[in-house]
């Protein structure tokens, strides 16, 4: 019974690791395909977020119930907390330096 | 819609840190460090003490302690919020994946003004970071409780206008 469970955990963790790797790849492709700076950030955030989540969940499952798993979880948390801050710094400084986004502006909520 | 250069200097001390606050924070830092490092040689321990004290100094300088009680009361409700956020992230990741891999690149870049004025400073930070975390939406600027958000799809911009996420964070705060 326990062996079966271990095999299932192994399979799930491999699926997560593969999903994470694919997300990194797609993020890279997206950065190349997108037309301008601001839309490239969106593609990069796929690598930033989804890949981090999937890869670290996969690694935590591989580590099992141990101190290493707790450390991996903490690293994932810190990456997810600092990633958006870095993205914000990048996007905000581009905006403040006068790089105008080519985007439609959605006006007030339709009541 | 014109972004304004926001104030970089720390605001004046509102709730100054009490010695008890500082002490508890230091104990947590030291425990975390000891657990993390696992190597107990004098040099490494010295570096640990140095980094703990540096963190304490920086946290105090950032006026972290003015908000620490707010943060502590939030911690109980955070895991539930994270679960919802992860669900959102998976859905929007799938949407962005479809856009990136489609043979013909169809995007509708849209900017939207989200109103976060009813949230505290911590709530606005969480809101901005959550928006940036989900693929397809990026916070460009926060000013006076208004968040300027750049969206890859018009659909996402419309969803942000519905204020669902703001209400969710409001519930997290209170």
Domain boundaries defined on chain B? 19-66, 77-173
Q: How far is CA B83 from CA A96, B86, B131, B166, in A?
A: 34, 5, 15, 16
CA distance B76 to chain A (A): 16
Residue B50: its pLDDT value, please? 93
pLDDT per residue over B71-122, tens digit each?
A: 778 888 888 999 999 999 999 999 999 999 988 888 888 888 888 888 888 8
Domain coordinates of chain A in residue numbers? 2-96
* pLDDT (tens place) for every residue of chain A, 111 residues total: 788 888 999 999 999 999 999 999 999 999 999 888 888 998 888 898 999 999 999 999 998 888 889 889 999 999 999 999 999 999 999 999 988 888 778 765 443
Cβ of residue B132 closer than 8 Å to a chain A Cβ: yes
Output the average pLDDT for chain B: 83
* Cβ–Cβ below 8 Å for A42 and B35: no
| Alpha-carbon gap, residue B73 to B77, rounded angstroms | 8
Q: Considering the entire predicted model, what is its pTM?
A: 0.80
Cβ of residue A85 closer than 8 Å to a chain B Cβ: yes
| Alpha-carbon gap, residue B83 to B62, rounded angstroms | 29
pLDDT band, residue B11 (cuts 50/70/90) = very low
Q: Which residue has the tokens 């969106």?
A: A42
Residue A108: its pLDDT value, please? 55
**Do residues A23 and A54 make contact, with C-beta atoms less than 8 angstroms apart?**
yes
| Alpha-carbon gap, residue B78 to B126, rounded angstroms | 11
DSSP assignment of B10-74:
PPPPSSPPPHHHHHHHHHHHHHHHHHHH----HHHHHHHHHHHHHHHHHHHHTTGGGTHHHHHHH
Cβ of residue B124 closer than 8 Å to a chain A Cβ: no
CA distance A84 to chain B (A): 5
Strand order in the sheet with B146-151: A104-106, B110-115, B146-151, B137-143
Task: Find residue B150's DSSP bridge partners.
Answer: B111, B138
Residue of B nearest to A81 (CA): B129
| % of chain B with per-residue pLDDT over 90 | 17
DSSP A64: -
Length of chain A: 111
Cβ of residue A88 closer than 8 Å to a chain B Cβ: yes
Dihedral of the alpha carbons of B45, B50, B54, B55, in degrees to the nearest 10: 0
Q: Which of A46, A1, A54 is nearest to A24 (CA)?
A: A46
* Cβ–Cβ below 8 Å for A46 and B100: yes
Count Cβ atoms below 10 Å from residue B116 Cβ, excluding itself: 24
What ipTM score was computed for the predicted complex, to two decimals?
0.85
Among B89, B100, B115, the strongest candidate for a mutation testing the A interface, having the largest count of A CBs within 10 A, is B100
């Amino acid at each position: 019974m326990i062996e079966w469970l271990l095999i299932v955990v192994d399979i799930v963790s491999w699926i997560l690791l593969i999903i994470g790797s694919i997300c990194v790849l797609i993020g890279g492709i997206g950065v190349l395909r997108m037309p301008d700076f601001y839309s490239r950030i969106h593609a990069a955030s796929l690598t930033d977020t989804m890949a981090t989540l999937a890869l670290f969940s996969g690694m935590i499952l591989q580590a099992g119930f141990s101190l290493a798993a707790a450390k991996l979880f903490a690293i994932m948390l810190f990456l997810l907390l600092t990633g958006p801050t870095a993205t914000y710094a990048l996007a905000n400084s581009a905006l403040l330096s006068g790089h105008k986004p080519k985007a439609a502006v959605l006006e007030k909520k339709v009541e | 819609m014109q972004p304004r250069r926001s104030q970089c200097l720390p605001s004046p001390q509102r709730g100054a840190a009490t010695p008890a606050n500082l002490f508890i924070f230091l104990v947590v830092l030291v425990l975390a460090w000891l657990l993390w490092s696992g190597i107990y040689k004098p040099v490494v321990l010295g570096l640990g003490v140095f980094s703990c004290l540096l963190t304490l100094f920086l946290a105090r300088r950032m006026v972290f302690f003015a908000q620490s009680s707010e943060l502590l009361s939030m911690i109980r409700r955070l895991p539930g919020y994270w679960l919802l956020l992860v669900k959102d992230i998976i859905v929007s990741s799938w949407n962005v994946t479809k856009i990136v891999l489609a043979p013909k690149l169809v995007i509708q870049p849209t900017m939207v003004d989200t109103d976060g004025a009813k949230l505290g400073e911590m709530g606005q930070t969480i809101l901005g970071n959550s928006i940036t975390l989900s693929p397809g939406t990026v916070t460009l600027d926060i000013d006076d409780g208004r968040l300027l958000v750049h969206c890859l799809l018009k659909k996402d911009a419309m969803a942000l206008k519905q204020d669902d996420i703001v209400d969710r964070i409001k519930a997290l705060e209170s």
